[in-house]
Chains A and B, each alone.
Chain A
Amino acid sequence: MIAEEKNGPVHPVIDQIRQEAACLFIEGRLTHDTIPGIAKQLKKIASRDVESIDIAGVTQLDSAGVGFLDQLLEDQFHGASLIHVSDKQQQALDAFSSKDHQLPPAHRDPGIFEKIGESVYHLRHTISELVMLISEITFWSAVGVFNSNGRRKGSVFQQILLIGSNAVGIIALLSFVLGLILALQSAAQLRQFGASIYVADLIAISMVREMGPMMTAIIIAGRSGSSFAAEISSMKVSEEIDALRMMAINPIRYIVVPKFLAITISMPLLVTLSMVLGIFGGFIIGVSYLDLTPVSYFNETLSILTLEDLMVGFSKSVFFAGVIVVIGSYFGFRVEGGAEGVGRVTTSAVVASIFAVIFLDAIFSLIYMV
C-alpha cells in the first residue's frame, strides 16, 4: 500500500473527485474502501470532455485505485491522461497496471441439447465402466475369499464392525417400529372380519420377504454406501489411489474387496435381525391390542413361514449388498474436482443405490411371483 503518511494523523483532505474545465481532480485516498464513494460522486457530476486527470492530491493509491484509474482512462474518458503523477504513485501505477494482463475468453456453458447429447453419448461408456468394475470386484472377491494377499490384515473384520455391528442399533429399532406400524395398520382391518390371527401371517411374510431386506438395504445404502463413495473419492482426489497403483497394489483389491466381503457377511445377519425384530413388533401389537395369546401368535408365525420365504429374503439381501458396494465404489472412482466433487459423488451414490435397491426389489417380486 502506498501511503505517504502511513502513521501520521488522519488526513484532513476529504476523499473526493471534482472537475474544473477539462481536468478532473482526485483528492484524498484512492483505495478499495474509498472508491465506491468516489465513483458515486463521479456519477453525480456526470462529467464529459475530460482531457486529464490530476492525481497530485491523492495521498494513498492501492491496486484498486490503479484499476479505477485504468478503468476511467480506458472506458469513460478514452484518450485522457494522468497528470502530476509523483514517483511513488508511478511505482504503484507500474506495479498494478492492467494493460499487459489480458484474460482469455471465458468458457461458454453448454446448452440443454448439448448436455442431453453428451449424457447419451457417455451412456455406453458408463455401462462398460460399470461392467468392468463389477467383473473386477467379483473376480478379486472370489480370489479374496481364499487368499488374503493384497489387502490390509484384519481389514475385512474392521469393515464388518463398521458396516455391520455399528448399524445393529438403528436397524433393530427401525425394524421393530416398522413391525408395530404394519401390525397396527392391518389389525384395524382384519379385526372387522374376526381374522385377527392373520396379523401374524401378514407380518411374518412381509417382514421376511420384503420389508426386512429392503429396509436394511436402504439403511445400509445411506450409512455405508455413502461412506464408501466418500472414502474412495477423497482418496482419489488426494492422489492416494494413484499412489497405491504405483506401489503395484490393485486399489479394487485393497479397498473395495474388504468392503464387499464384509457387507456380504453382514447383510444377511442384519436382515435376520430386522426380520426377528419386525416380527417381534407385530407380536407386541398382537398380544396387547388384539388379545392373541403369545403361543398362538408364535405358532401361526412358524406355520406360515416356509424355507422358500427365507431363501427369497436372504438372496435379496446378498444381492442388495453387492449393489450398494458397486454403486458406492463406482461413484467414488468417478469423482472429479476436489472436496466439492467428493460431496457430489457421495450424494449421487446414496440416491442411486436407494433407487437401485427399490427398483430391484420390485423386479425380484415379479420374478418370484411367476
Chain B
Amino acid sequence: MKPVPVIEIKGLVTRFGERTILDNVDLDFYQNEVTVILGGSGSGKTTLLKSILGLVTPQAGEVKLFGQEFDLENEVAVNTTLQRIGVLFQNGALLNSISVLENLAIPLEQHTKLNPALIQRIGRVKLGMVGLAHAAHQLPSELSGGMRKRAALARSIALDPELLFCDEPSAGLDPITSAALDELILTLRDQLQMSIVVVTHELASIHRIADRIVFLDEGKILFHGSVPEAKKCGLEVVENFFKVGTFS
C-alpha cells in the first residue's frame, strides 16, 4: 500500500535576518508513521517544525497539512486544522500558574462541550499514560524537567490528535522513562493511528521508534528514508552518526 502523505512541504525557505536556516526543503511525512528528524544542534530542526506549524513565517515555499494548504490568513480553517494536531514543545511550555491536571483540561474545555467530570477523567487517563497520575495536582514549577516534559506530552494528546509533533521528547529523561515514552509513541501510532514527527538525537530511541528518518544538515535534507537504508546510504555524516552517535 502506498503511504499517504499527511504533510507535504515544497520549496520551503526560512531565514532569520541574513541567515538561511532552511534552504529549499522538499519533504513529505506519511500517515501512521513515526518520522524522526535528526541533525546537529542548531541545524534547524525546531525551525522546521515551527515553519510547518506557521509559528515561524517561511520566506518561500508551501506546506500542506492533511492535503490542504495551511493558509495562515484563514483563521477558522487554521483552528480546525490545529485541533487535529498535537505539539510537544522543546521546553514543555506548560502554563505555570495552574496545576498539571488543569493544564491538560485547557484544550478539552476550550474545544469541546464535555462535562467537567468527563474532562477530569480524560485528563486522568492521559496523565496515567505518561505515568504522572500522582502529580496531577502539582504545579509545573514543582515538577522535575523530565516530569514537565511528560506532562506536556499528555497535554498535547489531550484531544487525540491525528498528527503529533514532539521536539526532543526524551531529552533530560532517564533511559527507562525514555524507553517507556517510546513505547507510548508506538502505542499512539499503532492503536490510535497517529502520524508522529519526533525530533531526537538518541540512537536507542531512533532504533525503537523510527519508521523513517530525515537528516537535516545546514538547512538541507541530507537523507530521507528508513533506518536500514540510512546505515548504508553512502553519506559519511549519516553513516557515522549511526556508528558512533555523534554528528561530525
Contact = CB atoms under 8 A, between A and B. Distances in A.
Contacts of B97: 337-340
A104 B128 contact: no
B133 interface: yes
Interface string B220-245: 00000000000000000000000000
Contacts of B111: 32
B108 interface: yes
Contacts of A237: 141
Contact of B125 (A3, A35, A67): A67
Given A36-B114, A95-B187, A101-B125, A337 B133 contact: no
B140 A338 contact: yes
A64 B114 contact: yes
A2 B113 CA distance: 20
A98 B140 CA distance: 23
Looking at chain B, what size class is its interface with the partner chain?
A: 35 or more
A338 B120 CA distance: 24
A338 B193 contact: no
Contacts of A67: 118, 121-122, 125
Interface in A41-74: 62-64, 66-68, 70-71
Contacts of B160: 1, 31-32, 62-64
B248 interface: no
Contacts of B187: 95
Contacts of A62: 160
Nearest to A91: B191
A107 B142 CA distance: 14
- Residue among B111, B125, B133 with max Cβ neighbours from chain A (10 Å): B125
A237 to B, nearest CB: 8
Interface in B103-127: 108, 111-115, 117-118, 120-122, 124-127
- Residue among B108, B113, B133, B192 with max Cβ neighbours from chain A (10 Å): B192
B159 interface: yes
A91 B133 CA distance: 21
A25 interface: no
B124 A101 contact: yes
Nearest to A105: B137
Contacts of B118: 35, 64, 67-68, 71
Nearest to A7: B4
A103 B137 CA distance: 8
B79 interface: no
A245 B187 CA distance: 44
Contacts of B137: 103-104, 106-107
B96 A101 contact: no
A338 B141 contact: yes
A96 interface: yes
A20 interface: no
Contact of A1 (B112, B121, B127, B192): B192
A32 B191 CA distance: 18
A106 B134 CA distance: 11
Given A70-B121, A71-B118, A100-B128, A337 B141 contact: yes
Contacts of A100: 128
- Residue among A6, A68, A103, A340 with max Cβ neighbours from chain B (10 Å): A103
Interface in A181-201: none
Contacts of B191: 91-92, 94-95
A98 B128 contact: yes
Nearest to A101: B128
Given A103-B137, A337-B96, A338-B141, A33 B124 contact: no
A79 to B, nearest CB: 19
A165 interface: no
B182 interface: no
A33 B112 contact: yes
A32 B136 contact: no
A343 B121 CA distance: 32
A96 B162 contact: no
A102 interface: yes
Nearest to B160: A62
A39 interface: yes
Given A64-B122, A70-B121, A98-B121, A32 B112 contact: yes
B192 A71 contact: no
Contacts of B12: none
A103 B124 contact: yes
A107 B194 CA distance: 35
Interface string A80-98: 0000000000011011111
Interface string A273-284: 000000000000
B101 interface: yes
A103 B136 contact: yes
A94 B137 CA distance: 25
Contacts of A31: 160
B144 to A, nearest CB: 13
B117 A71 contact: yes
Nearest to B135: A104
A35 B194 CA distance: 21
Contacts of A96: 122, 125
A344 to B, nearest CB: 9
Given A32-B114, A36-B115, 17 more contacts: A1-B162, A1-B194, A3-B193, A33-B112, A35-B112, A66-B125, A101-B127, A101-B128, A102-B124, A103-B120, A103-B137, A104-B133, A104-B134, A104-B137, A106-B137, A107-B137, A340-B97
Closest 8 CB pairs of A and B: A101-B128, A338-B96, A340-B97, A36-B113, A32-B112, A67-B121, A62-B160, A91-B191
5 contacts: A64-B108, A70-B121, A91-B191, A336-B141, A338-B97
